[in-house]
Amino acid sequence: MDFLKKLGIEEKNFGASTGQNWFETTSEGELKIYSPVDGKLVGSVYQASQNDYEKIIQQATEAFKFWRTVPAPKRGEIVRQIGLRLREYKDALGRLVSYEMGKSLQEGWGEVQEMIDICDFAVGQSRMLYGFTMHSERPKHRMYEQYHPLGIVGIVTAFNFPVAVWSWNAMIAAVCGDVCLWKPSSKTPLSAIATQKIISEVLKENNLPEGIFSLIIGRGATVGERMLEDKRVPLISITGSVEVGRHAAQVVAKRLGRTILELGGNNAIIITENADLKLAIPAVVFGAVGTAGQRCTTTRRLIIHENVYDKVKESLIKAYQSLRIGNPLDEKNHMGPLIDKAAVELFVRALEEVKKEGGKIIYGGEVLTGPGYESGCYVKPALVEAENHYKIVQEETFAPILYLIKYSGSVENAIELQNNVPQGLSSSIFTNNLREAETFLSAWGSDCGIANVNIGTSGAEIGGAFGGEKETGGGRESGSDAWKAYMRRQTNTINFGTDLPLAQGIKFEIGE
């Protein structure tokens, strides 16, 4: 395929790099990557060793000593150039993301556009790493606070956004003066290798040292655990399951390191009787089937007022019947495959479980076979009538299953249902009633990190901080003031007088 050649993806690829330099370790096994689109071998990756990890960390440590001395706007200039280079590779990289992961081509291109957008955002942020000045209680004293680079930032990403989530972290961390070590999902390593090769061009053109942006692909037991335990990595950003995040948080906390956790979502849209259904239905469908239900912000629960329940259900069935499922590189298709057959098994198992608990499948739920579906990873998205308290509804199934849940009475009843799950990432309400909307956004409303009105749960912009509460982990990435997580905070006091007054009026006198 032409896009593989343009991106420098070979039949066999190495899994560790400090920038332009690739370590040629072949002793740790080979990951063979098959596309969920057609089941064909895309390429393979030689996994990195613990020795590779150690070399990368040592190089990153030295690179940080240089990178932190570069003025932040100059660091922003490098990120600006990375954004420009990504524009040149947008089509090819977007196609690789789509082919390796299975999301639609529009979403693949959109993911690369997110990378470009966060580069643009980070360039501006490089001139706005603000501290604050405050008044001292002591005469002729000045107090202020400032932010300094933190060090090596470990970035662990998931398969569903194989490149964008790395950029949310890496581009912000880079302008903050940090260096980054990226461990991508072993299910989508080729997209990471392609990205590393793209940015290496910019690093080389600017004569920058190895180790500012590093990549390592390897077993969790070999390199993943080592990264969690390594005191030389003060911050680790992890996107993954609640189970993975809970383990990582415990290991990193034991050494008093920092984590940014982006974990599970069990996102709901509330449709009140005052909703504009022409807005709501398309938002629900995209939220539920976009990326084949494999987004952390995927709409998994639809909480519908009883007065419009039947109308919404009929509209959704009609909309689902019009969905085109197939090769995601064909722009006419709405939905591609799940990431692998294991994901298909989870899809089937969840539907069996919800039926046991009393749920009713009203559309879809089949595994698709026949021409175009040879990979065995295609399914027909499911609509299921269920109740919020079902055990399976309380869990996050990474698949296109939408649970329809009926509520009656006031919007507070709907909000209570929405909040009554362990996760707290994204949420949405569709209503034209101002009081309902403001109640949803109030302190006693949605308990999620993202709360939207008259748009869906999926498709967050990079300008806002991204993340959630409860079992979602509490971390924040991307925009707003999320940059502060990648820096160490310092309070400074300067005495420009000839006396030494103490705070709180304390007297401490010694003889001359």
Torsions phi, psi for 424 (to 5 deg): -150, 55
3-state secondary structure of 311: helix
Structure tokens at 236: 């680790």
DSSP H or E run through 33 = strand 30-34
What's the Cα-to-Cα distance from 294 to each of 6, 203, 288, 315, 337, rounded to whole Å?
A: 28, 33, 9, 23, 10
3-state secondary structure of 118: helix
According to DSSP, the residues that pair with 146 across neighbouring strands are: 490
Residue 262 a catalytic site member = yes
Q: Alpha-carbon distance 509 to 209, whole Å?
A: 52
Torsions phi, psi for 85 (to 5 deg): -65, -40
Candidates 107, 114, 262, 477; catalytic one: 262
Q: Which residue has the tokens 């919007």?
A: 411
Position 316, amino acid: L
Q: Which residue has the tokens 């992890």?
A: 238
Residue 201 a catalytic site member = no
Position 336, amino acid: G
Candidates 176, 180, 296, 377; catalytic one: 296
DSSP characters over 74-120:
HHHHHHHHHHHHHHHTHHHHHHHHHHHH---HHHHHHHHHHHHHHHH
DSSP summary character for residue 220: I
Q: Alpha-carbon distance 64 to 450, whole Å?
A: 34
Q: Alpha-carbon distance 418 to 272, whole Å?
A: 13
Q: Alpha-carbon distance 497 to 138, whole Å?
A: 10
Kindly list the catalytic residues. 262, 296
